[in-house]
Amino acid sequence: MNISDFLTAADVRTDAVAGDKQQLLQELARQAGGKLDVQPDRILSELLKREELGSTGMGGGVAIPHARFPQVEKPFGMLARLKRPIDFDAVDGNPVDLVFLLLVPETPGGVPLGALACITRKLRDPAVAAALRAARDGSAIYRVLTTP
């Protein structure tokens, strides 16, 4: 699986602004809901339930909030690069400035896990994270994420 299978250049946000984790997840849910025909409140609720299990802030300034939905037929992603980092209860305690929202089908294993593993591998690479932070626009961010 490739990131381009579930992320389009149009779904990359640069200089996003959020006061806190809740506000960021609410805005991402609103944007994703419009694209997927899923109620934003439902998306937000599922994202918050997942966060209660443990933060999706994986360290290094990166978070991958994710949830499963029966209405989602294939994985859907959005990347937000924040103008100012926010507290995300990340495992390393550091604030987050790169957030990849991933919504996947409710099917077990396979595709949902493949999508999550794909983006996790990419964002754990410090060189990739640095390139995302240095990218001048959404197109450049998309190229960084989709180049093997």
Rounded to whole angstroms, how far apart are CA atoms 17 and 46?
Answer: 22
- 30 carries an active-site annotation: no
Alpha helices in the chain (DSSP H): 21-36, 40-53, 110-124, 126-134, 138-146
Nearest Cα neighbor of 58 from 145, 120, 132, 148 is 120
The end-to-end CA distance of the chain, in Å, is 11
The H or E element that residue 77 is part of is strand 76-86
Q: Which of 13, 21, 66, 122 is catalytic?
A: 66
Could you list the active site residues?
A: 66
